[in-house]
Amino acid sequence: MADTSTKSDYVVGVDFGGTKLYAGVFSDKIENVGTARKSTKPQRGVDAVIERIADVVQEAVDEADLTLKQIKGIGIGAPGAVAGETGDIIFAPNLPGWKGVPLKKSLEKLLGVPVFVENDCNIAMLGVYVTELKSKPRNAVGIFLGTGIGGGIILNGELYSGFNHTAGEIGHMVLDPTGPKCGCGNKGCYEAFASRTAIFKRLQQAVKDGEKTVLTDMLGADLDDLRSGNLRKALRKGDKLVEKVIEEAAEYTGIAIANLANILGPEVIVLGGGVIEAIADEMLSIIIETAKDYAMPGVMDGVEIFPSKLGDEAGIIGGGVLAKRLAK
Ligand SMILES: [Zn+2]
């Protein structure tokens, strides 16, 4: 497994999600040499989760037949606002109790390896940028549609994190101030229209209102345990309700892209996340068409919009890239 990298050149990338932890060990050339997965179990409290992150890192390192002494740095993508300098989690909307948590310090104490923390979508975009886009476009935007909607912005070849390290919150761009309530407390954010959570809420409400869908045959009347894969199955069966709701989510995504393109003028817009992985084929043409309709004339000329092929791997690769760049 291990390649010709010198032993201290290995790095670890960790995708720290609300439900899953995923760690990967990478060589200096960002080749994966070992991975490990674990559930997050946020209900067990902050300290327990930090220990589980340390465990998943150790398991991945062991899987690669290495020891922690051979790891130069660990890059972690965390689901929330991160203080770049201290590596503290300022706030994580989907993780109860995660306010002002010194994640970097705690993990460095447990593992004895330098740790670098960034927002999860920024990290995923860094992974996409370096491996999938080969660091070629000067300006690129990543939009990740999952439980929420996150983004990552590359400007002049660098990840743009902004004054307070909070840039790239694409999901909280307000598209309609009279729209549905968002997890952030505002109304009508892009995320409140097109995230998996928003799509599922709309479907559940429609079923309550008496609309018909094959989803109730698959999952029962409450649509409990609805997953992105169910949406794909329903669309393949020609389900009209799911078609309508997905079309709207795709249109809102197109509008969000038009706004971003008007402001940033990126060459490439990459889409990712669970919703895109499941139904990119069904959404993509509507997204592109709507983006062109809403953008200023000329803005979308030659701009590429496509789904990332990295899937789950984007987060761990991005973590590895971050650690490689920042570890001395
Ligand atoms: Zn919001």
Question: How far is ligand 1, taken at its centre, from the CA of residue 46, in Å?
Answer: 24
Whole-prediction pTM: 0.90
Q: What is the mean pLDDT of each successive set of 10 residues along the chain, which is 328 residues long?
A: 62 93 96 96 94 98 96 94 84 85 96 94 94 96 93 95 84 96 92 94 94 92 87 95 97 98 97 93 96 97 96 94 92
Looking at the chain, the whole-number percentage of residues with pLDDT higher than 70 is: 98
242 and 140 both lie in a single domain? yes
Task: Please indicate, yes or no, if residue 258 is contained in any of the structural domains.
Answer: yes
Among 203, 204, 196, 198, which residue's Cα sits nearest to residue 222? Answer: 204
Are residues 98 and 194 both part of a single domain?
Answer: no
For ligand 1, the distance from its centroid to the CA atom of residue 98, given in whole angstroms, is 18
Task: Give the C-alpha separation, 152 to 143, whole Å.
Answer: 7
Question: How many whole angstroms from 195 Cα to the centroid of ligand 1?
Answer: 11
295 within a domain of the structure (yes/no): yes
User: What CATH number does the domain containing 177 carry?
Assistant: 3.30.420.40
Same domain, 67 and 14: yes
Query: How much distance in Å is there from the Cα of 149 to the middle of ligand 1?
Result: 9
* Residue 174 alpha carbon to ligand 1 centre in Å: 7
Q: What is the distance between the alpha carbons of residues 132 and 152, in angstroms, rounded to a whole number?
A: 14
Tens digit of pLDDT for each residue in 117-170? 999 999 999 999 999 999 999 999 999 998 889 999 999 999 998 887 778 999
From ligand 1's centre to the CA of 290, what distance in Å? 22
Do 120 and 139 belong to one domain?
Answer: no
Q: Are residues 205 and 320 in the same domain?
A: no
CA of 147 to the centre of ligand 1 (A): 13
Dist. CA 224 → ligand 1 center (Å): 24
Residues 161 and 27 in one domain: no
> From CA 26, how far away is CA 313, in angstroms rounded?
12
What is the 25 CA–ligand 1 centroid distance (Å)? 34
Q: Structural domain of residue 20, as residue ranges?
A: 7-125+313-326
Residue 267 tokens read as: 């060459």
Do residues 30 and 151 both lie within one domain?
no
- Same domain? For 77 and 150 the reply is no
Q: Are residues 13 and 91 in the same domain?
A: yes
Residue 130 lies in a domain: no
Strand residues in 80-162 grouped as ranges (E): 81-83, 88-91, 99-101, 115-119, 140-145, 149-155, 158-159
The answer to whether position 69 is within a domain reads yes
Report the distance separating Cα 10 and Cα 28, nearest Å. 6
What is the percent of the chain where pLDDT is above 90? 83
Tell me what pLDDT residue 7 has.
54
- Looking at the fold, whether 105 and 196 belong to one and the same domain comes out as no
Q: Do 33 and 182 belong to one domain?
A: no
- One domain, residues 174 and 293: yes
SS3 313: helix
How far, in Å, from the CA of 80 to the mean position of ligand 1?
Answer: 13
Number of independent structural domains in the chain: 2
Measured in angstroms, how far is the CA atom of residue 109 from the centroid of ligand 1?
34
Is 230 in contact with 116 (CB distance < 8 Å)?
no
